[in-house]
Amino acid sequence: MAKKFPIHPANPERICWGCDKYCPVGSLACGNGSDRTQHPAELFGDDWADWGIDAAAEPAQAKDS
């Protein structure tokens, strides 16, 4: 079972987010590369969970013509 993914972690730069192990930066256990995978908040900002795939599900507003 997958771990619950944190939306706003306190210190995302201290952890690799590449798999369900969430290893410290200095001991990457999955061997998924030499660099850690950044948390989406680091890449896209704190509002990263408010847009994306779910945003496409919202109905488009009708244009007034």
Q: What is the pLDDT of residues 5-42, one digit of tens each?
A: 898 999 999 999 988 888 898 888 887 667 888 999 99
Is the model's pLDDT at 60 over the cut of 60? no
Q: Pick from 55, 28, 34: which is nearest to 44 by CA?
A: 55
The Cα 34–Cα 27 span in angstroms is: 10
**CB-based burial, 29-52: b 16+ in 10 Å, e otherwise:** eeeeeeebbebbbeeeeeeeeeee
Q: What residue segments make up the domains of the chain, in order of their start?
A: 11-48
Q: Can you give the pTM of this predicted structure?
A: 0.67
Residue 22: CA count within 13 A, CB half-sphere: 12
